């Protein structure tokens, strides 16, 4: 991009809060952002060196810019949200939750009805919701019809009698209680029903009292199924976020009269390495608008300015803190469920995400689509061997597994053995022009890792392949020339793959050991005698049954079995064993 008016425009921008829009050469909005200080924020795009490749591409595509000044940062957040929804710019995060959720509708008509609908018609009817959980919605409608004479036999009876006056009277009598019930207030309807039941009991109207008792039981059973938090916590929204390198997962709880009446989680794709604070700010505005939340207080894991009209609380302990933690757990579980679905529906995306996560966790320059892991071993200090296993896209690629018998090292020397096998492996790959891995994992600590690095240096491959070591005791990750290990989260996918590599290398190494042990078990001192072939050995064993008895046999017995010359030579060699 040339240094045109767009490049220098930020110098004349105000230092006020506002929203800015970037356009490309086709005059399409490609990015919308908010700022507390327009001049400083927009200038950062043109004066900083951006590590994120997507940001560098965005800056190159900016052809012109527009901005809108607003009174506060909160107004900027609201305006940004609305403009993103309208223009859906390429480089902005989008809350892709386009499902049409159902609402509860109380229809405005002479004979009022209550039902679920996915269409909101502005005809004076009352709408409550939307409900992301359809089962909850239908259960609530059934509860209302069961507890109140609303579209049930009592109302139908009045309709048959064409008693319009009493129908309206009956409906209006229960309308406020129905609203309270939909909004999660069970306390008031239960209190009113109990008062009615006591009134009927005093008048000895036991049949009517029993009907109300049944309704009370329905209400209390439904309430018991809700997630009750604390009756003192009411009319509060709870938001939390859990994110990885590519996506953010935001959970929303709506708490009314001590119960969680609504829970919803969304996935947000990051476009320009947005922070958790940026993602959560946009999600809060969008979700509150979507679910028509009027709560004046919000619980969050960290502070966000949402204006004077909304109180933001960051709980430190107690039930409020537990609510935020529960919300975060829901966000994490939602992420795990998405991964499970992704493995089935979109395996390529799952692999891409996993490789990207490993790149970030292990501080690599590129995604480790091809990983090789080495493990040294020996049998009781003899027969040193090594194994190399290969993973491609996070899965074993057994076709490329290799066993090594140590050739140049005498005795047990794990460091020298590791240096030998790494050199042999990558000298061959280099000389034959075979593609090299992006990551090498060494099963061992600093010593084995240093030995492997020596071989890479000799081959001129140091810096061209990333290499790490993993120590078994505490699962420490070591890097070359760094004595301080790194510890990955025990539940992280990256650590699980490295552990799987290490375990697979150990398992594969044992296969060669088993073969060697089997051969050793079949070996006999008789194998070392010149002129003693398999048939002769078989003949001796058949005759004398064991090596001890063969050695104890007389020369006469041996020569009688094998002949004078051959038997004499073998008898002589047997006595030398």
Element (H, E) at 238: strand 236-243
**pLDDT tens digit string along 268-327?**
888 777 888 888 888 888 888 888 788 888 999 999 888 788 888 898 888 888 888 888
pLDDT value at 391 more than 90 = yes
Domain 236-343 sits in CATH at 3.30.420
pLDDT at position 161: 57
pLDDT score for 1: 42
pLDDT score at 522 = 43
Residue 240's pLDDT band, with cuts at 50, 70 and 90, is very high
Query: What residue ranges do the domains of the chain occupy?
Result: 5-87, 236-343, 360-519, 525-576
Q: How far is CA 539 from the centre of its chain?
A: 67
Given a cut of 80, whether residue 170 has pLDDT beyond it is no
**10: closest CA among 34, 36, 41, 54?**
41
Token pair 């890792």 is at which residue? 449
With 50 as the cut, is the pLDDT of residue 140 above it?
yes
Domain 360-519, CATH: 3.30.420.340
pLDDT, residue 372, reads 94
Fold equal for 5-87 and 360-519: no
Report the DSSP pairing between strands 370-379 and 439-443.
parallel
pLDDT digits (tens, 9 = 90+) for 412-459: 778 888 889 999 999 999 888 888 999 999 988 888 889 999 999 998
Measure the CA–CA gap between 79 and 32, rounded to whole angstroms.
Answer: 10
Looking at CATH, the fold of the domain delimited by 5-87 is given as: GIY-YIG endonuclease (3.40.1440)
What is the distance between the alpha carbons of residues 269 and 281, in angstroms, rounded to a whole number?
Answer: 14
Angle made by CA atoms 284, 185, 109, in degrees to the nearest 5: 90
Place of tokens 């949402």: 306
Which tokens go with 102?
Answer: 């159902």
Q: What is the mean pLDDT of the chain?
A: 79
- The average pLDDT across 116-127 equals 79
Residue with tokens 């697979």: 504
Structure tokens at 123: 């005809």
- Round to whole Å and give the CA distance between 1 and 61: 7
pLDDT tens-digit profile of 500-537? 998 998 888 877 766 665 555 445 666 666 667 777 77
């Amino acid at each position: 991009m040339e240094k045109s008016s767009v490049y220098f425009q930020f110098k004349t921008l105000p230092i006020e809060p506002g929203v800015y829009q970037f356009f490309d050469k086709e005059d399409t909005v490609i990015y919308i952002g908010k700022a507390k200080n327009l001049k400083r924020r927009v200038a950062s795009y043109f004066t900083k060196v951006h590590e994120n490749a997507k940001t560098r591409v965005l800056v190159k595509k900016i052809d012109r810019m527009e901005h809108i000044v607003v009174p506060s940062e909160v107004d900027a957040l609201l305006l940004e949200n609305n403009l993103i929804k309208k223009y859906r710019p390429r480089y902005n995060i989008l809350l892709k939750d386009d499902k049409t959720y159902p609402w509860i509708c109380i229809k405005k008509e002479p004979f009022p009805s209550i039902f679920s609908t996915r269409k909101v018609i502005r005809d004076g009817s009352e709408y409550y919701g939307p409900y992301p959980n359809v089962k909850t919605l239908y259960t609530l409608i059934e509860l209302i019809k069961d507890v109140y004479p609303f579209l049930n036999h009592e109302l139908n009876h009045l309709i048959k009698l064409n008693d319009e006056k009493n129908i309206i009277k009956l409906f209006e009598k229960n309308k406020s209680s129905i609203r309270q019930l939909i909004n999660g207030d069970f306390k008031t309807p239960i209190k009113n029903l109990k008062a009615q039941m006591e009134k009927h009991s005093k008048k000895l109207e036991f049949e009517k009292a029993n009907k109300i008792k049944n309704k009370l039981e329905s209400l209390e059973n439904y309430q018991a199924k809700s997630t009750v938090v604390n009756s003192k916590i009411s009319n509060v929204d709870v938001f939390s976020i859990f994110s990885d390198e590519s996506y953010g997962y935001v959970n929303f709880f709506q708490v009314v009269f001590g119960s969680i009446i609504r829970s919803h989680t969304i996935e947000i794709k990051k476009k320009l390495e947005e922070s958790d604070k940026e993602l959560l700010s946009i999600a809060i505005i969008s979700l509150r608008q979507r679910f028509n939340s009027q709560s004046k207080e919000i619980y969050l894991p960290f502070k966000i300015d949402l204006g004077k009209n909304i109180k933001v609380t960051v709980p430190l302990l107690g039930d409020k803190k537990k609510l935020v933690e529960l919300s975060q757990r829901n966000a994490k579980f939602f992420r795990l469920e998405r991964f499970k679905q992704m493995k089935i529906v979109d395996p390529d995306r799952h692999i891409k995400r996993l490789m990207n996560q490993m790149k970030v966790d292990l501080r690599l320059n590129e995604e480790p689509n091809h990983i090789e892991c080495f493990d040294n071993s020996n049998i009781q200090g003899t027969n040193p061997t090594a194994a190399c296993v290969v993973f491609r896209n996070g899965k074993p690629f057994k076709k490329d597994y290799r066993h090594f018998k140590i050739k140049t090292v005498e005795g047990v020397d794990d460091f020298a053995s590791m240096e030998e096998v790494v050199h042999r492996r990558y000298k061959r790959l280099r000389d034959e022009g075979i593609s090299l891995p992006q990551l090498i994992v060494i099963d061992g600590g600093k010593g084995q890792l240093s030995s492997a690095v020596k071989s890479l240096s000799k081959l001129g491959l140091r810096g061209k392949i990333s290499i790490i070591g993993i120590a078994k005791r505490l699962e420490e990750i070591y890097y070359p020339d760094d004595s301080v290990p790194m510890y990955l989260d025990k539940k992280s996918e990256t650590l699980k793959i490295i552990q799987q590599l290490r375990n697979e290398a150990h398992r594969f190494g044992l296969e060669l050991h088993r073969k060697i042990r089997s051969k050793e078990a079949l070996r006999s001192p008789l194998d070392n005698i010149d002129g003693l072939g398999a048939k002769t050995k078989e003949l001796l064993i058949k005759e004398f049954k064991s090596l001890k008895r063969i050695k104890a046999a007389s020369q006469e017995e041996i020569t009688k079995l094998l002949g004078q010359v051959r038997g004499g030579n073998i008898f002589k060699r047997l006595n030398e064993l």
